[in-house]
Amino acid sequence: MNVTLLVIVGAAIILGLASYAGYLLLQLKKQKTLQQQHQFLAIEKRNANIFESVNILCMAGIQGQCDLSEISIRVYNIMDYVQGEARVDFDAEYPAISELYHIVKDMPRGEARQGMAKQERMKHNLTRQKAEGRLNDTIIEELHALKKRVQPLNNQIAIQMV
């Protein structure tokens, strides 16, 4: 009888531990699912903020409030931070903006530009203005297309911790 009692107690302990392990596995699965949902929402919120900025930059470029070279630098760089399925291959989809970006990306700006010799600055200005003049209409069209593309995606997502 003692052996039977020990077997029953042992089986009860093993059954209890097995059910507790199963419970912990279910909790782990729920936690991983919740983490994936939070990560997805965080990416969506970040992309929405980026798209809001890109929308404003596109409007500034379309309305002529900023140089197209400055717009191309800002839009090209900020769109590099988009994550997930909304990521854009800028070189393939917006070739004029990409071309202008690659022309002016290495040109000094700000204080570095002020420290350059006047002749060198004029040379850079001429190169930039030629590229802007040549690509102006195409870039404006691409800015319209980009604005349309990011506008429906520009939705603010409220994230609440559960």
Give the C-alpha separation, 139 to 100, whole Å.
9
Domain positions in the chain are 38-161
Averaged pLDDT of the chain: 85
Per-residue pLDDT tens for 95-113?
998 888 888 887 877 777 7
Model pTM?
0.71
Q: At residue 43, what are phi and psi to the nearest 5 degrees?
A: -65, -45
In the predicted structure, residue 122 carries a pLDDT above the cut 70: yes
Per-residue pLDDT tens for 74-98?
999 998 888 877 788 888 888 998 8
In the predicted structure, residue 57 carries a pLDDT above the cut 60: yes
Contact 148, 51 (CB under 8 A): no
Q: Which residue has the higher pLDDT, 72 or 91?
A: 72
* Closest to 69 (Cα-Cα) out of 20, 40, 107, 43: 107
Residue 90, number of CB atoms within 10 A of its CB? 20
Q: Where are the beta strands (DSSP E) in 3-75?
A: none
Q: How far apart are the first and last CA of the chain?
A: 52
In the predicted structure, residue 61 carries a pLDDT above the cut 70: yes
